[in-house]
Structure 1
Amino acid sequence: MTLDSKLFDQIRVKPAGKKAAEKVRAPECMWEGCDQPGTHKAPRGRDHEGQYLNFCVDHVRLYNKSYNYFSGLGDDDIQKYLKDSLTGHRPTAPMGTNNSAGPRSASAMPSSLPSGRPRRVNARIHDRFNLFESGAAAAKPAPVKKPRTLESKALDTLGVPQTADAESIRIQYKALVKQYHPDSNGGDRGSEDRLREVIQAYKLLKQSGFC
């Protein structure tokens, strides 16, 4: 096929007169006194959703400037429309109601919330961190840590029982430091070895989490 073929021109070039035919098919502008093609759509307004008016470009601009969807509505109706638009104009039910079960009467509602521990919704729920414990259960002390060999010797060094809690260990440690410190013995350093043992025992217990 040569470049000057008529078939080639029909493929490459848009047929003449098509744009003019489209202009003829366009509806006439609906602005009074205008005979230009109405090539631009504009909404008819409220209660006519999905329906449009056809204007030329100049008159559609004028129409859009003066267009007011809420024309003819009072302030209360406008506020109601804006509120309903938040839910897509679909009906909503008040929170806490079950439409399928019907409204509950006032006598069926509990007069007050139960006291004490909240009801367990699911028996398989494990309250690992005691978030729902109350009263004596919440005040239950943590189990005493069982000492190992070195920790047991450290407790003996401080002179406290094997089941002593952290507060008892700290009180005993402070008392022994005060007892064996040279400043409490007129500068006598004869108890320095005993003081060193007490300090090392306390450090060991502290690192082990006993105090």
Structure 2
Amino acid sequence: MGLDSKYFDRIRTRRRRPVEEPPSAPTCQWDGCDKPGVHRAPVGRNAEGQFFLFCFEHVKDYNKGYNYFSGLSDSEIARYQKEAITGHRPTWTVGVNGSAKSSPIQADIRSGAYNRVRDPFGFVQGNKSRGPRFPEQRKLKTLEAKAFDTMGLGANATSSEIKSKYKELVKKHHPDANGGDRGSEERFRAVVQAYQLLKQNGFC
């Protein structure tokens, strides 16, 4: 393509920008050092977010002797470590925070404003009875229900009722007392098995 071509006039070229020199690093703050200080080191306690600038050699020397707790007693250090667990925020023991006791929610609970809430286990108002919070009667498994039926008892029978019923049925259906009745022997085995199952599962 010649210099007099019509395409030559349409070529655009970038203007060369002057090369910017990178900003010079600050000088090391160690006494008598003229090297660039590119490494940060913390100033100390009560000056968080402030840093010294050292060269690599001097920042190593500074870090070896750095102690955040210098000037504090052992009790002050222990207190700081304990407060660090909660991020240095105040905490209260359960039941000690007086402002919580006087809160509107607690006042509503004491005045009975939450009586409309269905609370079968007493979580909102507190269960003042010393008995268990949950229903005592558990859901029977299939074999357990069958064992109660075999013995002719209800699911809410007590331990003494189960034992007395067992003695009664054993005397009635024992091979020595049934006069050789095969049906009575089968009933005897079923009663013994039912009683053992209930005993293993903690009903008697």
Question: CA separation in 1, counterparts of 2:33 and 2:96?
Answer: 58
Is 2:154 the partner of 1:168?
Answer: no
Counterpart of 1:179 in 2: which secondary structure? coil
Contact 1:173–1:198 (8 Å) recurs in 2: no
CA shift at 1:173, angstroms?
3.5
Question: Residue 125 of structure 1 aligns with which residue?
Answer: 120
Cα 1:132–1:202 shift into 2, 3 Å: farther
Q: Which position in structure 1 is the counterpart of 2:141?
A: none
The structural deviation recorded for 1:167 is 2.5
Alpha-carbon separation, structure 1, partners of 2:44 and 2:37: 18
Contact 2:25 2:37 in 1 (8 A): yes
Q: TM-score, normalised by structure 1?
A: 0.52
Quote how far apart the aligned CAs of 1:208 are: 7.7
- Cα gap change, 1:36 to 1:94, in 2 (>3 Å): same
Cα distance, 1:168 vs. partner?
A: 3.4
**Equivalent residue letter for 1:179:** D
State the distance in 1 between where 2:50 and 2:130 align.
60
**Preserved contact between residue 43 and residue 49 of structure 1 (Cα < 8 Å):** yes
Where do residues 21-170 of structure 1 align in structure 2 (5 Å cutoff)? 21-22=21-22, 25-100=24-99, 124-125=119-120, 133=131, 165-170=161-166
Rate the CA distance shift 1:102–1:166 in 2: closer, same or farther, 3 A: closer
Q: 1:203 to 1:102 in 2, by over 3 A?
A: closer
Match of 1:199 among 185, 193, 196: 185
Give 1:71 deviation, angstroms. 1.1
Q: 2 CA distance for matches of 1:25 and 1:98?
A: 56
Gaps of 5+ in 2: 1-12, 103-116, 123-128, 137-148, 153-160, 199-204
Per the alignment, in what secondary structure is the counterpart of residue 38 of structure 1?
Answer: coil
- Paired residue type of 2:29: M
Q: For residues 17 and 78 of structure 1, what CA distance do their matches in structure 2 show?
A: 53
Q: Distance in 2 between matches of 1:178 and 1:67?
A: 92
Give unpaired runs (5+ residues) of structure 1.
1-6, 104-121, 139-150, 156-164, 182-190
Measured after TM superposition, the shift of residue 203 of structure 1 is: 4.6
Letter in 1 for 2:34: D
**Aligned alpha-carbon RMSD (Å):** 4.1
Where 1:25 maps in the other structure, the secondary structure is coil
Shift of 1:123: 5.7
TM-score by length of 2: 0.53
Deviation sequence 1:98-138 (CA, Å, 0-9, x none): 332579xxxxxxxxxxxxxxxxxx763169xxx9637xxx8
**1:32 deviation in Å?**
0.6
Q: CA deviation at 1:204?
A: 5.1
Q: What CA distance in whole angstroms lies between the structure 2 residues aligned with 1:40 and 1:81?
A: 28
Q: Which of 176, 181, 195 does residue 179 from structure 1 map onto? A: 176
